[in-house]
């Protein structure tokens, strides 16, 4: 960056790093160039001089702004505004990476020139040429980058939500922003279609052991769900006729079939579990749950089956469970997230209690929702619809006994679906 400053022959008197990530870089550049450095605080001190700008400076002098990554340019403009209030001039910014999400154009409108070491286009060119990512993956990334409303999305600072730009704090999670991102994943595209068409983000867990009772329940509530979740291995009379009727119902009522298999074995075994035995899960289920305990190879095995063009379209990684004392702690969730980020072509989202990521490309499915009880006495813990969606940041609520064991499953399903969708839509 020092070399680039010299090469460009940029005129400056002081070096200023955008707080706080760029301050170490600005410090080193200031040292390399033997140029004085100013520090812009995010907030003025409540004591002493109460200044936003620290350092010795004269009005009318020029500041060179240092930034690490430029997305929208909003943080840079905040810094420049504070410097201008002190009578300082800002015309140039140098950054390590230009993400090409509108920052250059936004800064140009304010008379600011942006110089970068590398652009996202150059990075993607390299990643494709080195076979690190495929051309298709590049297209997905470029589609996300073009969705410039993400550049103005909220960030968390000191536990509070603040905005980087002019958009509202809900922009990252509104449907308009997320739709093109979610549609990059075949399963999420299907789920989103049903959610918006039927105005529901309700998944009902029909944990019954008799196929006729399961089918009767689905027939009655199918119009109010985006997905039906099953444990096929607990059904006493599971057979092909059940699968045929289930598939017919899913097409008629337009919902996703969710096999809660919780795969957690070696790759070869997982492929056999999905395609053989008495269940043949991949032939009828659109989505299956997967534990991240075996590590990344389990996702490759699931992907191998998805590529066979069966009913299976995607998987949900289990980030956390709703049962009391579950071992799926924060570290487990973090590692599950890392696996998912490296396998977005197979991982469509998460089973979680609290949303483990601020990535809007995933859908976050949450069990443990019951408006009438907080526990079943067997370790299951429940909370309200509002807590699950608004407080915990989830997209789809998974509700079982609160609906299936109620006196009027149809009315309860309609009520849960209506309230949950309104809460989700209003985020």
Catalytic residue numbers? 260, 262, 265
Beta bridge partners of residue 383, listed in sequence order: 369
Residues 364, 361: Cα–Cα separation, whole Å: 10
Residue 208, both tokens: 């019954």
Three-state SS at 291: coil
Helices (H) and strands (E) in the chain, counts: 16, 16
The annotation status of 216 as a binding-site residue, yes or no, is no
Largest distance between two CA atoms of the chain? 84
The annotation status of 401 as a binding-site residue, yes or no, is yes
The annotation status of 322 as a binding-site residue, yes or no, is yes
The annotation status of 8 as a binding-site residue, yes or no, is no
Specify the DSSP class assigned to residue 173: G
Residues 193, 398: Cα–Cα separation, whole Å: 18
The annotation status of 400 as a binding-site residue, yes or no, is yes
- The number of beta carbons lying within 10 Å of the beta carbon of residue 141 is 16
Listed in sequence order, the residues at least 6 apart from 153 whose beta carbon sits closer than 8 Å to its beta carbon are: 163, 164, 167, 171, 172, 177
The annotation status of 229 as a binding-site residue, yes or no, is yes
The pairing of beta strand 160-163 with beta strand 202-205: unpaired
Between helix 297-306 and helix 267-275 the angle, nearest 10°, is 30
Binding residues: 207, 229, 322, 380, 400-401
Binding residues for substrate: 207, 229, 322, 380, 400-401
């Amino acid at each position: 960056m020092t070399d680039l400053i010299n090469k460009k022959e940029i005129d400056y008197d002081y070096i200023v790093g955008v707080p706080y990530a760029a301050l170490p870089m600005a410090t080193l550049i200031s040292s390399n160039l033997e140029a004085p450095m100013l520090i812009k605080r995010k907030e003025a001190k409540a004591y002493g001089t109460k200044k936003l700008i620290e350092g010795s400076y004269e009005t009318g002098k020029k500041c060179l702004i240092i930034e690490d990554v430029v997305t929208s340019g909003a943080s840079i403009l905040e810094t420049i505004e504070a410097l201008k209030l002190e009578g300082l001039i800002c015309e140039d910014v140098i950054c390590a990476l230009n993400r090409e999400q509108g920052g250059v154009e936004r800064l140009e409108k304010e008379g600011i020139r942006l110089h970068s070491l590398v652009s996202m286009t150059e990075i993607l060119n390299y990643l494709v040429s080195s076979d690190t990512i495929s051309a298709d993956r590049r297209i997905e990334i470029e589609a996300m980058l073009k969705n410039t409303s993400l550049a103005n999305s909220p960030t968390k600072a000191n536990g509070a939500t603040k905005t980087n730009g002019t958009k509202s704090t809900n922009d990252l999670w509104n449907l308009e922003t997320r739709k093109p991102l979610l549609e990059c994943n075949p399963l999420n595209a299907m789920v989103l279609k049903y959610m918006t068409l039927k105005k529901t983000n309700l998944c009902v867990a029909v944990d019954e052991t008799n196929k006729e009772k399961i089918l009767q329940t689905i027939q009655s509530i199918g119009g109010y769900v985006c997905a039906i979740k099953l444990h096929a291995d607990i059904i006493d009379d599971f057979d092909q006729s059940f699968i045929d009727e289930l598939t017919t119902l899913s097409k008629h009522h337009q919902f996703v079939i969710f096999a809660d298999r919780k795969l957690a074995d070696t790759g070869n075994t997982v492929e056999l579990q999905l395609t053989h035995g008495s269940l043949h899960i991949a032939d009828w289920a659109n989505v299956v749950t997967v534990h991240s305990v075996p590590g990344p190879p389990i996702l490759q095995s699931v992907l191998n089956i998805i590529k066979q063009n069966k009913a299976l379209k995607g998987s949900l990684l289990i980030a956390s469970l709703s049962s009391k004392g579950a071992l799926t702690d924060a570290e487990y969730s973090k590692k599950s997230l890392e696996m998912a980020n490296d396998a977005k072509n197979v991982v469509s989202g998460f089973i979680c209690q609290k949303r483990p990521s601020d990535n809007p490309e995933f859908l976050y499915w949450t069990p443990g929702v019951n408006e009438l009880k907080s526990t079943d006495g067997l370790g299951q813990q429940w909370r309200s619809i509002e807590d699950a969606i608004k407080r915990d940041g989830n997209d789809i609520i998974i509700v079982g006994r609160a609906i299936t064991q109620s006196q009027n499953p149809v009315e309860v399903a309609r009520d849960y679906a209506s309230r949950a969708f309104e809460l989700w839509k209003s985020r």
